[in-house]
Amino acid sequence: MSNFRFKKAAIYKLDGKANGNISNTNMTDAKAILFLTSNPARIKMFSKYPDNWKELIAGDIEVVEPVQVEGTSKTSAEVNEEGKKPCSPCERKRLEKMKMAELRETYPEAETTFGQKKTELVDEIIKTYYS
């Protein structure tokens, strides 16, 4: 999960050598930093960003993107140092703090239904991603 998030649900073109677009759906820290490097005033377009974003775009801090862990649908950020999945109660607390729309966007493989309660969606996410 990225430390950056746009205020609006829109798609923007990446500048410079990078081909492609950037949106909340495909947001990574590296893409956001690239997007901001060409025009730091774009920070106003973000609703969520790290406090050290200026150091990140200046290149003072290395950005390490999570990588896919072989044999699982998890990224390195979702798996602890021993290669085990995070505990369900720990994940439940983190997930319950998220908004419904963010949960649906972040966990597209979890089955969602109209009128679904947040606790039901969190249960489905834990079942799909962490069991």
Per-residue pLDDT of the chain (131 residues; tens, 9 = 90+): 688 999 988 888 887 666 688 898 888 888 888 888 888 999 999 999 988 888 888 875 555 555 554 555 555 445 444 444 555 566 777 788 888 888 888 777 777 788 888 888 888 887 777 65
Number of neighbours of residue 29 by Cβ within 10 angstroms:
19
Looking at the structure of the chain, the number of domains it has is: 2
- Determine the Cα–Cα distance for residues 95 and 7; give it in Å rounded to an integer: 20
Residue 16 falls inside a structural domain:
yes
Q: Which pLDDT does position 14 carry in this prediction?
A: 83
Look at residue 100 and tell me if it is in a domain: yes
In a domain, 103, yes or no: yes
Q: State which residues form the domain around 21.
A: 5-58
Q: What's the pLDDT score for residue 48? A: 92
| Residue 22 DSSP SS3 | strand
